[in-house]
Amino acid sequence: MKNLSLIIPAKYEKESLPRVLTELKKYKYPTYIVLEKNDTETIKSIKKFNVNIIYQKSKGYGSALTQGINTVKTKYFIIFNADGSFNPKEIKKILVKATSENYDMVFASRYHDKKSGSEDDTIVTYLGNKIFTFIGKIFFFLPISDILYTFVLCNTKKTRNLKLKSFDFRFCVELPIKAIKKNYKIPAISSYERSRIAGKKKVSAIKDGFLILTAMVELFFSL
């Protein structure tokens, strides 16, 4: 797909990332791996793959994604996890929805319909996501049902125009909120999240949950 690139932020994913890239190989999407230069084990694990490696200039999930967004050369990009929880078979249907109906972004959702679901969700992350999604609907009129799930396809140029600033997991809410404030068309689409291959979640439910809440409050009063 010449008009789509994958951005994969990675942090200590030496066990899972090679398996993810092996699964992605047949799709031939230009792929950008964003990681810290001192993550030598992960870097060694993907040497044999034909991917673009971007070394982070600043730490943080949001920083990695913003750097990737500013680097890709295609009309669209999709954020893809390094842990194996996203299914590459779903990429095509997300891209088709965006291109056939001229959407600016398409947000995959684990809670969209009966075909949606997750093998990786916990009761804490489920409840937290439901709360933040509810806040997004009430205060920002977001038409999405899974605000913290970053399996998202975006128009590259329009995303750059948002001037995203979050360097951490606050990126998850800054992206859709700024997009809806720009009147971008951002529908949801069904997705099924798989169990991660290895390693641990990088998200802290309490710490990152608090940061996300404060970000939503700040965006409400600043936009």
How confident is the model over 184-201, as pLDDT tens digits? 999 999 999 999 998 777
pLDDT above 80 for 1:
no
Return the pLDDT at 223: 86
Query: Residue 75 is encoded by which pair of tokens?
Result: 């009309």
Return the pLDDT at 2: 73
Of 6, 60, 10, nearest to 198 by C-alpha is 10
Residues 57, 113: Cα–Cα separation, whole Å: 39
Q: What is the DSSP string of 168-215?
A: STTHHHHHHHHHHHTT----EEE-EEPPPSSS-----HHHHHHHHHHH
Give the type of residue at 159.
Answer: T
Q: Model confidence at 205, in pLDDT bands (50, 70, 90)? A: confident
Task: Check: CB of residue 192 under 8 Å from CB of residue 116.
Answer: yes
Give the type of residue at 92.
Answer: K
How confident is the model over 16-37, as pLDDT tens digits? 999 999 999 999 999 999 999 9
Task: Establish how many alpha carbons lie within 13 A of residue 14's alpha carbon, considering only the half-sphere containing its beta carbon.
Answer: 10
Residues 206, 20: Cα–Cα separation, whole Å: 29
CA dihedral (82, 84, 86, 91) positive or negative: positive
Query: Residue 88 is encoded by which pair of tokens?
Result: 């590459």
How confident is the model over 117-148, as pLDDT tens digits? 999 888 988 999 999 999 999 999 999 999 99
Residues 31, 125: Cα–Cα separation, whole Å: 28
Return the pLDDT at 37: 96
pLDDT above 90 for 8:
yes
Mean pLDDT for the stretch of residues 163-168: 96
Give the type of residue at 3.
Answer: N
Return the pLDDT at 203: 76
Task: Check: CB of residue 202 under 8 Å from CB of residue 11.
Answer: yes
Domains and CATH numbers, the chain: 4-222 (3.90.550.10)
- As beta bridge partners, residue 2 has none
What mean pLDDT is reported for the chain?
95
How confident is the model over 59-112, as pLDDT tens digits? 999 999 999 999 999 999 999 999 999 999 999 999 999 999 999 999 999 999
Cα 121–chain centre separation: 16
pLDDT above 90 for 39:
yes
